[in-house]
Chain A
């Protein structure tokens, strides 16, 4: 499992390097919206989503499935690594963005400090969970190129919905509803993993 996650991280790193400028600019020069809602509800999920989808694109263009499934690893490990690396990546990005945000605040480069960190993290987890939970099985079932349109629609829809309900996400989520939503997204991820596993186990290369 470890080499599989490491492989995904290595490939994701290629995308993240392109996004460093984007991350720094967002964190440094973001306005009130970016600081309060956008940082967690838009920036982090965008980075995670792009980084998660990039290896799928690379794998398909190289037909890497042949290599991957010829290596000493099981198909279960291949699927699990997709989810695990996405979640680990989410944690790493949240840490990086949050730390750099507070560093810039301390340096006086940012005036608008994030007000409710926990709400922000929950918001970003919910969005990342939905994006990952839907896009991974779609990519496994349809292959990246065929699932690309669905993924783009999903991406745009989620962010429009988030923009629409962002006050609800970052301000009005009371404790119980917040955790209920978290559990619902965890449920979605578990179901998504089951579906992906079933599809990947019967996949032929």
Chain B
């Protein structure tokens, strides 16, 4: 996947390039906001990773301009600010996700994959999601596996829905906390592990194959094979 990285700090940029390169991506780097905007306009990239603070043109304005030009390239903001409103600002400017520096490589990779998936998503909201013999109905909020009905609590349903929408892609703990529970801090207790283990108990236990897997050091993945 061709990715455009706009980041003025060369050490951070080198670091990110190393991570993305290792995951088999092809990264173009721009160190300046205006140059980055031109490169993004030229097209040919599957995703954009952009720092909030840039010389020339700041990241927020850059993405806002692209969106004004109907350029919908998936965009991930990076920031050193831990501002509570920064995330909302980033999403309002047209960003698809937001990551606070410093971050772990798996976190960056998982989020880049998640936003590129969003970019290709069908325009109509699906009514039903399937993974192997597991099927969830988003309207009736019901879950079936191998013809059996599975009862899930509201939170468990949201968790499963998020995993299925990201089927085949790693989702991190932080992504689950943000998207399933709207929690934007690092809890001290094992919230994610606990709820996932309960979900697995209902969805995977007693069925032939496991769908939800733990990816060590990264997060979780729902795979249909």
Whether A associates with B in a native complex is no
Interface, chain A (partner B; CB < 8 A):
none
Interface, chain B (partner A; CB < 8 A):
none
